[in-house]
Chain A
């Protein structure tokens, strides 16, 4: 429902897009941290410094960082286009974004991602 305030301001779609994108970037970082522990092939692939010349001596962090930044930027672009000029309910958007961010925090916490490491 539009209130007087929302009618007097720009639609919140573009802001919802960047909040959700921040959550997606965070969660992708967490997922990549776990995948790096779980699978040796993925861990090798994530060494973007050796595989693609992105830095030197950074190891798998180069891939985790690059892919999570790309996920943030790509999702921001896509959601930005989808939500451009739209007014959305911001409460559910914030809830989803916070769940994604919480996933990122949780999966980057060593006692959590080490659960997935082979014994």
Chain B
């Protein structure tokens, strides 16, 4: 049982960082949602804030790592050009090593690239921008966040949008990898 470098990086990008992102989102969302003065005491705020800080900061860092690894390490393998002379209109075994071209070789799979990958590779970048804004707000306000209802609500919206962008990217990443794995 062995993993190639390509499989390992694809695993790190999708499963490793992806799972961490989900965990951090769950923790961060629960922390933000429950951070209301009528729900927690002063002691509760002091106890929850470090966890909220951890959840939002990890989510932002993981979002950055995911897009950087995805764009500059995994994506070039996905879009690698086949050698001259290889028939690009037939989904042959030889074309399997070139996922983008393999998908485009058939009308039945072409939309995985034209719609799925084209959307995924761009929308994914919104996640680190949005998640960073949320993490910065937690770092800046700390325990004072409890008295900033309007900012907490804005953070919940941004946090959810960051998750939505990452979810689109993650879902299409998984489906495209199933159709044409980078290996």
Contact = CB atoms under 8 A, between A and B. Distances in A.
Nearest to B117: A110
B116 to A, nearest CB: 9
A58 B133 contact: no
A22 B148 contact: no
Contacts of A10: 140-141, 144
B150 A58 contact: no
Contacts of B158: 19, 22, 97, 101
Given A10-B140, A25-B129, A110-B115, A94 B79 contact: no
A16 B72 CA distance: 31
A98 B140 contact: no
A110 B111 CA distance: 11
A69 B157 CA distance: 21
A57 B130 contact: no
A9 B122 CA distance: 37
B76 A55 contact: yes
Given A9-B147, A19-B158, A98-B157, A109 B119 contact: yes
B150 A91 contact: yes
B58 interface: no
A11 B147 CA distance: 12
The secondary structure that dominates the B interface is: helix
Interface residues of A, number: 41
Contacts of A29: 122, 125-126
State which size class the interface on B falls in: 35 or more
Contacts of A72: 129, 132
A15 to B, nearest CB: 5
Contacts of A104: 126
A60 to B, nearest CB: 10
Nearest to B149: A5
Contacts of B75: 57-58, 61
Interface of B: 67, 71-72, 75-77, 79-80, 114-115, 118-119, 121-123, 125-126, 129-130, 132-133, 136-137, 140-141, 144, 147-151, 154, 157-158, 161, 165
Interface of A: 5-6, 8-10, 12, 14-15, 18-19, 21-22, 25-26, 29-30, 33, 55-59, 61-62, 64-65, 68-69, 72, 90-91, 94, 97-98, 101, 104-105, 108-111
20 contacts: A5-B147, A9-B141, A9-B144, A10-B144, A12-B151, A15-B133, A18-B132, A19-B133, A22-B132, A25-B125, A25-B129, A29-B125, A55-B72, A55-B76, A57-B80, A94-B154, A101-B130, A101-B158, A104-B126, A105-B161
